[in-house]
Structure 1
Amino acid sequence: MSEYILQARGLSKGFRGFMAVQDVDLSVEKDSIHALIGPNGAGKTTCFNLLSKFLAPSSGSISFEGEDITSLSPAAVARRGMVRSFQISAVFGHMTALENVRIALARARGGNFDFWRGERVLTQYNDRAHELLYDVGLSDSVDVPAAELSYGRKRALEIATTLALDPRLMLLDEPTAGMTESDVARIVALIRQIRGGRTILMVEHNLSVVSGLSDRITVLARGRVLAEGDYESVSANEAVVTAYLGSDHADA
């Protein structure tokens, strides 16, 4: 078995003649946290959408656990254990935190129609839903409608619904974007907590978060891989420093 859970080879994406991603090779090691970063316009969002199957590549290939998934849909790869954080749809605001996680558990177990069957059927998922809410620090918000949660706690709920699918690879898109300092600290602690036995690939603009979490970092610039390594080596790379000059590190 390969030591890599996700690999891309020669991944490219063009839009009407503009190449947003060009010949990207990427290998994500099992049981690691791998960050995809880059200055504004680097193509990291496009690359992430390709890897998570929300965009089809113009060329190149993607494999998950040694199987080619280049032509598969997001739903198909989710069933194989690769799940993007918002994939089960960001949370339903009118439902409580508990109800949101129960819906996710129902989908994970093949109960696509449980949503319409009412309280009686969904209560079978209560115990596991409570466990997941505890894991993400939301035990005190079980009966709170998602719309009333703070932004940071709403993102924690989204992670709980993702965990309900029991993914082997979690893809997190800007997990701390728009958060207060305290919420960032909460999500960082949560990501550390849930990483056991899982691999995480994330796009993240906050370099302090990247430095504290990531085992390996891939830096994109102008759609190509500029550098790769641990934070110490990447942050000391002269080409990376040059690429970030004048950048506010906003997402591509």
Structure 2
Amino acid sequence: MTTQPAAAPADGGDPRAVLSARGLTKSFGAFLAVSNVDIDVFHGRIHALIGPNGAGKSTVFNLLTKFHRPTAGHILFDGADITAMDPASVARMGMVRSFQISATFGDMTLLDNVRVAMQRPNHLSRQFWRSLSSLDCLNRQALELLDRVGLADMAHLNANNLSYGRKRALEIATTLALQPRVLLLDEPLAGMGQEDVEQMANLIKAVSCDCALLMVEHNLKVVGDIGDEITVLQRGEVLARGDYATVSADPRVREAYMGSENDSH
């Protein structure tokens, strides 16, 4: 589905951004989880949304991907207001998200995981009753995606045989198979060892060339090398925004976030 850009409202997001939010607010009963958050995500750039536990990162992520309905504010995709849309509709527009828990089919090969993900963009999604061999026409494209994430030589292994870091790489391959305009990654580096973190960070940088990418992370140092723009949340509000040099030098960030992080080591 292709959506033509619409004129943004006068108080809307940056008209150049693929995904924007203005005044994003969410209450759960008397609890104000997110208050007046603005964000812009641009094609070919990585926007990192960070903050300590309880800062509101996951709530903002779920608002942007339409798993929660905002109490106030609006969300724009290519300038079109998508605030009232459901998750399936925005997914068809090209917004693809990952989850903190790896969502792969363990008993299927890596190749089959990617081929299944490729059904919808290749207009094969209504052929679910056919055997997997009917997807052989997708093999070349699927192998290219696996090669892109460094898994082509494991294409015929079952996903259960992968390490945690490689499962996350496979998940990125399956999200790329959906041809996203905006890719949203929910803590893609969580639970990884240092070697896997470096490999995944390089992969995220590589795939961001073809889409707008927003990643939720709790560790400022981890996103320092790959984030083009960083938004720091505290208690559901934007504490600071800018590049790594800007936010890491902000005394409010150092006191509220970096200081507590250093104290934990």
**Which TM-score band (shorter chain)?**
over 0.9
Q: 1:221 aligns with which of 234, 254, 257?
A: 234
Question: Does the 8 Å CA contact 2:50/2:219 hold for their aligned counterparts?
Answer: no
Please identify, of 23-32 and 163-172, the stretch whose mean Cα deviation from structure 2 is larger: 23-32
1:53 aligns with 2:66: yes
Question: Does the 8 Å CA contact 1:36/1:204 hold for their aligned counterparts?
Answer: yes
1:246 aligns with 2:260: yes
Q: SS of 1:212's equivalent?
A: coil
1:136 aligns with 2:152: no
Structure 2 unaligned segments of length 5 or more: list them. 6-14
* Per-residue Cα deviation, 1:125-168 (whole angstroms, up to 9, x for no partner): 11100000000000121011111111000000000000001111
Distance in 2 (CA, whole Å) between partners of 1:167 and 1:153 is 21
Q: SS of 1:99's equivalent?
A: helix
The alpha carbon displacement at 1:82 in A equals 1.2
* Per-residue Cα deviation, 1:31-82 (whole angstroms, up to 9, x for no partner): 2110001122111111111111111111111001111111112221111111
Match of 2:202 in 1: 189
Match of 2:83 in 1: 70
Distance in 2 (CA, whole Å) between partners of 1:237 and 1:86 is 30
Q: 2:213 aligns with which of 177, 200, 204?
A: 200
- Number of matched residues? 249
Question: Does the 8 Å CA contact 1:37/1:203 hold for their aligned counterparts?
Answer: yes
The alpha carbon displacement at 1:206 in A equals 2.9
Question: Does the 8 Å CA contact 1:13/1:59 hold for their aligned counterparts?
Answer: yes
Letter in 2 for 1:238: P
Q: 1:81 aligns with which of 73, 76, 94?
A: 94
Match of 2:248 in 1: 235
Distance in 2 (CA, whole Å) between partners of 1:234 and 1:208 is 11
Q: SS of 1:246's equivalent?
A: helix
1:113 aligns with 2:118: no
Q: SS of 1:241's equivalent?
A: helix
The alpha carbon displacement at 1:29 in A equals 2.5
For the aligned residue pairs, the C-alpha RMSD in angstroms reads 1.9
Distance in 2 (CA, whole Å) between partners of 1:152 and 1:3 is 34
TM-score (normalised: structure 2): 0.89
Q: 1:92 aligns with which of 105, 108, 116?
A: 105
Match of 1:162 in 2: 175
Distance in 2 (CA, whole Å) between partners of 1:249 and 1:90 is 34
Distance 1:249 1:45, change over 3 A: farther
Letter in 2 for 1:235: S
The alpha carbon displacement at 1:200 in A equals 0.6
Match of 1:15 in 2: 28
Match of 1:24 in 2: 37
Letter in 2 for 1:3: R
